[in-house]
Structures are given as C-alpha cells and as structure tokens.
Amino acid sequence: MKLQYSLIGRQIDNSLSSLSSFRLSDDVRYRPILDMDTIAESFRRGGYGGVDRYRDLKGYINSDLLISFRSKIELIKNMSNVQIESFKSVAERSAEWKREMDHFPGISPVSVNFRLGDGFKFRYKHPVLGTSRWHYGQDFRVPYGTEIYATGDGTVIESGWNSGGFGNYVIIDHGYGLRSTYGHLSEIKVSKGMNIKRCDLLGLSGSTGTSSGPHLHYEINQFGQHKNPIYFFNNDMSEEEFSEMIQAFGSKSKFR
Amino acid sequence: MIFFRIDYLCLVMPKTKYKFNPDSLSYDKVRLGVKELFFRFLAYLTASVIIAVIYWVIFASFFDSPKEKALEREVEQMTIQYDLIHREMANIENVLVGLQKTDDNLYRTIFEAEPIPDTKRDGGVGGVNRYESLEGYTNSRLVIETATRLDKIRKRVYVQSKSFDDLIELAQNKEDMLRSIPAILPISNKDLTRTASGFGLRIHPIYKIIKFHYGMDFTSPAGTDVYSTGNGVVIKCLSSKRGYGNHIIIDHGFGYISLYAHLSNFNVRVRQKVQRGDVIGFVGNTGTSVANHLHYEIKLNGTNVDPVNYYFEDLSPEEYERMIEIASKTGQSFD
C-alpha cells in the first residue's frame, strides 16, 4: 500500500509541475500578448477554507499521508479547472484577434509595384472636372484589365454602377467599422451580399466613371470617416511575392 | 737661335737640295722659307701624333692601365654591394609582410577594422617614369631595380605606420566601443520565456507567405519597458501606423544601428544620447503587428545581422544555446 501511495505521490507531483508550467506559459506567453489580465495565484489555487473537510480521514495511523494526498488531488482538480477555463478564454480571445486581423484591410488591392497615382489629398484641379475637390483615396496606375483583390475578409455591401463618378464599383464591409471601396472597374466579379475572403478576385480594373485613364481608386472608411489608405498597406513585397500570396489565399478560399 | 735652327735643319733635312740656275749655269742651293718649314713640321707632327694614338689604342685594348684596374675593381665591389643590399631588402620585405599579416589578421581583427587591401599598400605612383635620370648606364637596370624596390619599401613602411596609428586610436576607443555595441536584451527576459521568433525565413502573419524576418521578436505585455542595448544617439523616433509602427532607431557608432519597432509609446526624443539600459519606450501593437510584441533589429554597416549574437552581456553560453533553439523553432513571426 505504502509503495503504491508513494508511486501515486510521484505522479501527483509530476502533474502538479506540468500544471504549473501550463500556468507559466498561460501567464507569460499568451495572456500578455493578447492584452489579457493574468489570473491571480489565490484564484488558481481556489480552496474553500474554513470547514475541516477531511475530518472523516482523521484517527488512522497514516492519516497525515492520506490527508495530504486528498488535499493535493483537490488542488490539482482546482488548478486544472481554472487552467481549462483560462485556456478556453485565451483561445476565444486569440480567435477573436485572428478574426479581426483577417477582416482588417491590411494588404494592397493590386501589387504595390504598380506606380501609385494621386494620394489622399486636396486636389486643386480634378483631371476631368477641372474643379478643386478632395481626393479621398489612393490611385494605383494599373493597366486596363488588371485583377483587383479584396484586401480583407468581409461582405460586399454595394456593387454595380455608381453615377457619382466611381463607375463600376465595389464596397466591402470588413466589420470593426472598416469599409473599403474599389472604383473605376471595367468588370465586376462579385455581387451584393457575398461573403468574401482576403485576396478574392473582385473585378478587373478599367476607366469607367469620371476617370481620365485606366486606374484603380481605392478608398478606406473607418466609422464613416475617410482614412488615408496608404496607412493600411506596406510596400515590402515584390511582384512574385504578391502573386504567391494571392495563390496561397486562393487555395484556401471557397471562391474561384 | 741660329744654333737651334741649324740643329733643327740637320734633324729635319739630312740632305741639301740643289736647283739648276740657267742664268749662272750653276747649281744653287734651294733655301726653304719659314712658312714652308712650318708646314712641313706640322705635317710631321700630325703624322707622328696619329701613329702614337694608333699605337696607344692598340696597346690599351690589350693592357689595362693601373687606374683603370682600380676602377674596375671598385665597380665589381659596388655590384657586390648592390647584391648585398638586394638581399637585405628581401629580408626587410619579408619582415614587412609579416608585420602586414599581423596587422591584418590580428590587430585589425581584434578591433574589427577592415584589413588594408594589397593594392592600397603597394599604391604605385604609375605614369611618369621616375627613374629616367638613371637610365643609359652599364648598370642602369640594377640601379633602377634597387631604386624601385626601395621606393616600394618606403611606401609600405609609411602605410604600415599609418595603420598602426589607426590601431592605436582604435585601441584607445576600445572601451568606448565595448560600451556602444549592442550587448544586452532589449527587454527583461527571465528564463527566456519571452523569446518568440528569430532571424530568418518565417511565415508572415498577414501575407501568409514565407518572407525573410530581419529581426527578433519578443512577446511581452503592452507597456513593458524597452531598453537601449548600447550607448548611442537616437537618430529616428517615428510615430507611424504602418510597417514598423512607432519605432526608434539608435545609432551606436562603429557601424552599429539598432531598431525597436511596434512600440506603444516613446521615452526618448530624436538626437537624445542614451546609455545602455536606459528605458527608451514601451512595448505595443502598432504597425503591421498581430499581437503585443517587440521587434528588434541590428544593422552592421547597413546589413541586417542576427541579433541573437549580440546578447553576450546578458546570456550565459547555455542560455545562448537555448535562445538559439527557441528562436529557430517558431515558424511564424509576429512581424
């Protein structure tokens, strides 16, 4: 019996140490980077306190051993429960963050190796109308028929002809208050209400609407305010890397 | 005077000439004028001189004069001397090559200076022939060779002395350099649990393609202190929404530049001098980043180097090995 008990005791110690290493990675690795508070040690250990719950085990020769075992097992139960709950919340949080990252319009709609046209600025002379007005987006000087990709996951909320000057255009709602607009397309490949993933084909570039030549007009709105799209993508990719990325996303996507 | 003349005539004209005089029908003695005598004398003199010269030339071509012999011996002696000098120069050149080797391989390596290329050491003047005045003699070749060699040695010695001057300066700056080179971890990293992703090819968290990750990532709660890893001057302190986000660049001198990216806040300003261990900013999640982390890069002479080799003040060899292991294990960077 004693041998058995000591074996079990070793196992208990092992599981305690592995639990504490879980706790370490939880507290040090996952929670800090996801902006979550760490769980207090007292909360992890739980403990009911007060009432002597091991009264019925007292009075035997090996009472101490038994009681310490029982309390350790109790502790493991508590800690593992807390740990499971904590990991659940961490997984939830990380899925949430991942979802947000996927929906964030964080890439450029065409390869950044195309020349950038007019940026987000006040134009004193509109190239077609000749009047001065704000230019609320970023222009990419792409040739006619270049494929335009979605910059983040989201839902198509508008697609079709815009008489205001965008020509054939698509608006994607990414959630989190973010919307992106793609204007002057020659052909639209998505329809209103479609759920799309990042790097899905939206259409082909063109020169429809008030445009003086083939280009893509890319706009980003956050909570109804125009934002400078230049802050939503980096120019750190080559042409090959961009097409590689499109393919990598395309193989996962249900469209195309 | 008369005596001389008679004597002279006796020598020059052993025979008296006579000429028939039709008037007196007798033979008169022919008397020569002074002018004729003089010319005759000159002719004799010239002939004798020419013969003497011919004799002398023939004689000299077969027998040397004592003076000539002495000169010849001297020339021989000089040639031997030149040879000796050549041998000495070869020795000196060997010694110089040894010095250059220690300079390039030992001292310059210790102080991490670039070795001096051979072309710079030899550094020929070229173009103009500087030994024109020495040309056209019997031993010209030898003399010119010696002069060239001497010039080369002079040049090399000059370069070497300059190099040693540099090294002395470097040695004096060594202490400064040791304080400036990045040598500690940019955040406190107990048990190395905050090491996330290392230098090398990693999957980009947003693009999902394999891209080169030019730095090291440390995961950490937002607001954790970020330390300057060496003495230096803040050359960039930029607030940005894209790429590196809020980032700080510190110039440590000696070709070293370090970069701290995705910060939430700054604790320094541009052109501020910082010491090793100063808090320069706080960890955040700005720019192209998927979670709270610090992206740490080191550039040496403009090229990115693996920061894992620049923690020698903080890490023991075992920890260093473990750090390399952890850093190479992760497949995805936080960018």
Residue whose tokens read 């005539």: B9
Q: Are A124 and A236 within one domain?
A: yes
ipTM of the complex: 0.76
- Condensed to tens digits (0 to 9), the pLDDT of residues A102-145 reads 898 888 888 878 888 888 888 888 888 888 889 999 999 999 98
Across the interface, do A32 and B222 touch by the CB < 8 Å criterion?
yes
The helix-helix angle for A2-24 and A63-103 (nearest 10°) equals 30
Q: Are B242 and B321 within one domain?
A: yes
The reply to whether B335 falls in a domain is no
pLDDT for B125: 58
Across the interface, do B193 and A101 touch by the CB < 8 Å criterion?
no
Determine which helix (DSSP H) or strand (DSSP E) holds B297, and give its type and residue range. Answer: strand B293-300
Across the interface, do B242 and A233 touch by the CB < 8 Å criterion?
yes
Residue B315 has, within 13 A of its CA and on its CB side, a CA count of: 26
User: What span, in angstroms and rounded, lies between the C-alpha atoms of B101 and B106?
Assistant: 8
Taking one residue from A and the other from B, the number of pairs with CB-CB distance under 8 angstroms is: 58
The reply to whether B185 falls in a domain is no
- Phi, psi for residue B194 in degrees, rounded to 5: -95, -5
Across the interface, do B243 and A241 touch by the CB < 8 Å criterion?
no
Q: Are A84 and A148 within one domain?
A: no
Number of domains in chain B: 3
Contacts of A96 in chain B (CB under 8 A): none
CATH value at residue A188: 2.70.70.10
Question: Hey, of B192, B193, B195, B206, which one would you mutate to test binding to chain A, going by the most A CBs within 10 A of its CB?
Answer: B206
- Condensed to tens digits (0 to 9), the pLDDT of residues B298-335 reads 999 889 998 888 888 888 888 888 888 888 877 778 77
Q: What percent of chain B has pLDDT over 70?
A: 93
Across the interface, do B243 and A230 touch by the CB < 8 Å criterion?
no
Q: Are A63 and A123 within one domain?
A: no
CATH value at residue B240: 2.70.70.10
The reply to whether B132 falls in a domain is yes
Across the interface, do A33 and B291 touch by the CB < 8 Å criterion?
yes
Number of domains in chain A: 2
Q: What is the DSSP letter of B243?
A: T
Contact B204, A236 (CB under 8 A): no
pLDDT for A168: 92
Q: Are A231 and A147 within one domain?
A: yes
The reply to whether B334 falls in a domain is no
- Condensed to tens digits (0 to 9), the pLDDT of residues B256-310 reads 999 999 999 999 999 999 999 899 999 998 888 888 889 999 999 889 998 888 8
Which structure tokens are listed for A31? Answer: 């929670």
Across the interface, do B209 and A241 touch by the CB < 8 Å criterion?
yes
Contacts (Cβ under 8 Å, ≥6 apart) of A46: A75, A78, A79, A81, A82
Beta bridge partners of residue B273, listed in sequence order: B233
The secondary structure of A167-216 as a DSSP string is EEEEEEEEETTEEEEEEEEEEE---TT-EE-TT-EEEEEB--SS-SSSBE
Contacts of B219 in chain A (CB under 8 A): 29, 32-33
Which residue range forms the structural domain that includes residue A18?
Answer: 2-103
Q: Are A124 and A211 within one domain?
A: yes
Contacts (Cβ under 8 Å, ≥6 apart) of B220: A32, A33, B187, B194, B283, B292, B293, B294
Q: Show which residues on chain B lie within 8 Å of chain A, measured between beta carbons.
A: 193-194, 205-209, 211, 219-222, 224, 240-243, 285, 288, 290-293, 334
Q: Are B220 and B320 within one domain?
A: yes
Q: Which residue of A has its CA nearest to B207?
A: A245
The helix-helix angle for B140-180 and B66-102 (nearest 10°) equals 20
Q: Which residue of A has its CA nearest to B334?
A: A33
Q: How far is B313 from chain A (nearest CA, A)?
A: 24
Query: Which of B206, B219, B293 shows the shortest C-beta gap to A107?
Result: B206
Q: Are B197 and B304 within one domain?
A: yes
Across the interface, do B220 and A97 touch by the CB < 8 Å criterion?
no
Contact status of A97 with chain B (Cβ, < 8 Å): yes
Q: What is the pTM of this model?
A: 0.66
Contact B218, B194 (CB under 8 A): yes
The reply to whether B146 falls in a domain is yes
Contact A111, A241 (CB under 8 A): no
Across the interface, do A236 and B243 touch by the CB < 8 Å criterion?
yes
**Cα B297-B303-B306 angle, rounded to 5 deg:** 45
Which residue range forms the structural domain that includes residue B214?
Answer: 190-329
pLDDT tens for each residue of chain B, 335 residues long:
455 555 555 555 556 788 888 888 888 888 878 998 999 999 999 999 999 999 999 988 888 788 888 998 998 998 898 889 888 888 988 998 888 888 887 777 777 677 777 777 776 655 567 777 777 777 778 888 888 888 888 888 888 888 888 888 878 888 888 888 898 889 988 777 788 888 888 888 888 888 888 988 888 888 889 999 999 999 999 888 888 899 999 999 888 999 999 999 999 999 999 999 899 999 998 888 888 889 999 999 889 998 888 888 888 888 888 888 888 877 778 77
Across the interface, do B220 and A107 touch by the CB < 8 Å criterion?
no
